[in-house]
Amino acid sequence: MMLKSKSRMAFLIICGSIFLLVSCYKDKTVIEEAAEVTRTVSFSKDIVPIFNKSCNTSGCHSAGGLKPDLSASNAYNVLTSGSYYSKSKPSSSFLYQKMLGNKGAVMPISGSNSEYNALILAWIKQGANNN
């Protein structure tokens, strides 16, 4: 009788596990993509304003706040020394993937912004210059 009870319990656990595994799947990911940026992207004119508007405000990614420090005076050096981007694999760059939400919580916290993402990706593809 004890064996039947254990067998039933094991059967229910296995069935429940299978049910949970089958019912919890992601069938597609929707990523809004902006048109690819083909013009020259300037770090100071295009990227820093993104950080100023969405990242280094309210003590988030500013001096003394969360890392990385994306304040205008520190952002380039921090991103370069911290390996936040990859010139050889721009779309795999941590910064870009973080902005898509593929590396933890999406940044900025207001949500993914396809225009910002396109500018960041273009900047990295163009060599991540301090221009």
Question: What are 66-121's pLDDT values in tens digits?
Answer: 899 999 999 999 999 999 999 999 999 999 999 999 998 899 888 899 999 999 99
CA 37-41-47 angle, 5° bins: 105
Q: What is the pTM of this model?
A: 0.73
Question: For 101, left (φ over 0), alpha (ψ -120 to 50), or beta?
Answer: left
Q: What is the pLDDT of residues 1-17, one digit of tens each?
A: 555 677 777 666 775 56
State residue 8's pLDDT score: 73
State residue 77's pLDDT score: 96
Q: Decide if 32 contacts 112 (C-beta within 8 A).
A: yes
Bigger pLDDT: 128 vs 57: 128
State residue 2's pLDDT score: 58
Asked whether the predicted pLDDT for residue 28 surpasses 50, the reply is no
